[in-house]
Amino acid sequence: MLTLLLTAALAQAPEAELPPDTPVSELPDAVQSVFAEGEAAWERGDLAEAEAKLVTVTEQAPAFSRGWRRRCGAVLAQDRADQALPHCRKAVELDPTFRNRTALAIVLLQTEGGQDE
């Protein structure tokens, strides 16, 4: 339940209250396109495709913290919290924003048996 609440809070947090991530528009056009495809796959519920696209994004733009956070989320949504953990850690290492730290907290709760669902 706590994990679900943290996830919902992260998704619903007002943009004005959160520091901005690196703008997608600063990425090379090809990476922007793959990132958009990954986001579209996520919206369709195709988590494996979203993960594959986000692997490409993080390989081509390794300093883009949002790519790492989204990759973490795609892996976590497939019930692979242990595999999601390094991606969330990388996002926080690159940019310790509220969003990245919250994503890491969610994964840590799930990997350490803190999931109370």
- Whether the pLDDT of residue 12 is over 90: the answer is no
Residue 35 lies in a domain: yes
The CATH number given to whatever domain includes residue 74 is: 1.25.40.10
Count of domains observed in the chain: 1
What's the pLDDT tens digit per position in 46-58? 999 999 999 999 9
The whole domain housing 52 covers: 27-111
Please provide the DSSP assignment of the chain as one string. Answer: -HHHHHHHHHHHS-GGGSPPPPPGGGS-HHHHHHHHHHHHHHHHT-HHHHHHHHHHHHHH-TT-HHHHHHHHHHHHTTT-HHHHHHHHHHHHHH---HHHHHHHHHHHHHHTT----
Within a domain: 36: yes
- The pLDDT score that the predictor gives to residue 8 is 52
Report if residue 83 sits inside a domain: yes
